[in-house]
């Protein structure tokens, strides 16, 4: 439970911090950020997890997300982990591509070599980091929500569907809803999990819902100007399976918005409020 402090800054009456710790799951030092609103001594606050997308670290949403005013207003702790293990000796994509390896952990527990040792982001997000947050921050772990962007939207949906008793709310921005049916997912899951597509279903939100997983409701924002919309994201697949299985879904197609943090920052405060109402 060793925790190192990289930086702390006062913001909106609370504290924005960046921290490091040695991870037993990934075998590396991991960095994450936490915003803690102003609170009374001994008070516990609900926690909203934000999982980032391909190529990102904790820093992207921390610096561009524009969530702190909403978190301060609704009194919600905001946790932003990294997207993969990092460091010397951590295996990467052989060609240095952005969509596999460093920065692209896909929130799975890898079983294929040489990735199985370090790429355990599912266990890191579901087990190790929550224990650290509970030990070091004024977090009410009985009130948790989760959201994320793109690859992180995939992570948020699958982790919430896997842990419906833990998360009271789940939302996503431009999520990869079905890695079974897009090039990003096919590359990542083959590399991390192997060629047997049946084993991929545990990391595919549409397949999980088809197989019986459910949560009270899901909020998804997707920009119509997103250049990954048709080839990689395919929100219509999530809508179809939710309709077929009776899973409550609010899919908001936001006219003209792209895949960037200009889009995310426009609607992130709205997501914070949506989660706060459910936590």
Active-site positions read 150, 226, 259
Q: Which of 112, 124, 113, 138 is nearest to 41 (CA)?
A: 138
- Residues in a beta bridge with 51: 148
CA atoms within 13 A on the CB side of 132: 25
Q: What are phi and psi of 7, to 5 degrees?
A: -165, 155
- Residues in a beta bridge with 148: 51
DSSP assignment string, 163-187: -TTTEEEEEEES----GGGSHHHHH
Where do the H-state alpha helices sit in 151-260? 151-162, 183-193, 205-210, 235-245
CB neighbour class for 231 (10 Å; exposed up to 12, middle 13-18, buried from 19): exposed
β 139-148/45-51 pair status: parallel
Q: What are phi and psi of 160, to 5 degrees?
A: -65, -40
Give the C-alpha separation, 205 to 214, whole Å. 10
**Token reading at 81:** 């982990």
Q: Which of 22, 18, 23, 47 is nearest to 33 (CA)?
A: 18
With b for 16 or more beta-carbon neighbours within 10 A and e for fewer, the 166-178 pattern comes to ebbbbbbbbbbbb
């Amino acid at each position: 439970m060793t925790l190192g402090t990289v930086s702390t800054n006062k913001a909106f009456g609370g504290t924005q911090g960046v921290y490091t710790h040695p991870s037993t799951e990934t075998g590396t030092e991991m960095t994450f950020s936490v915003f803690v609103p102003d609170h009374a001594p001994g008070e516990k606050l609900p926690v909203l997890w934000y999982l980032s997308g391909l190529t990102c670290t904790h820093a992207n949403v921390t610096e561009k997300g524009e969530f702190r005013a909403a978190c301060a207003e609704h009194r919600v702790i905001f946790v932003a982990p990294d997207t993969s293990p990092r460091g010397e000796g951590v295996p990467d994509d052989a060609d240095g591509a952005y969509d596999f390896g460093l920065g692209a952990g896909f929130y799975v527990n890898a079983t294929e070599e040489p990735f199985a040792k370090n790429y355990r982001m599912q266990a890191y997000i579901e087990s190790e980091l929550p224990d650290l947050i509970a030990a070091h921050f004024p977090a009410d772990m009985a009130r948790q929500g989760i959201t994320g962007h793109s690859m992180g939207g995939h992570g948020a949906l699958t982790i919430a569907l896997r842990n419906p008793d833990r998360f009271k709310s789940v939302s996503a921005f431009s999520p990869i809803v079905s890695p079974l049916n897009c090039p990003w997912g096919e590359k990542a899951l083959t590399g991390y999990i192997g060629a047997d597509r049946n084993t991929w279903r545990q990391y595919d939100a549409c397949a999980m819902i088809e197989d019986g997983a459910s949560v009270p409701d899901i909020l998804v924002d997707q920009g119509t100007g997103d250049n990954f919309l048709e080839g990689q994201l395919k929100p219509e697949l999530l809508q179809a399976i939710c309709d077929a299985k009776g899973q409550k879904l609010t899919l908001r197609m936001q006219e003209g918005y792209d895949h960037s943090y200009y889009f995310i920052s426009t609607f992130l405060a709205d997501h914070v409020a949506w989660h706060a109402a459910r936590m």
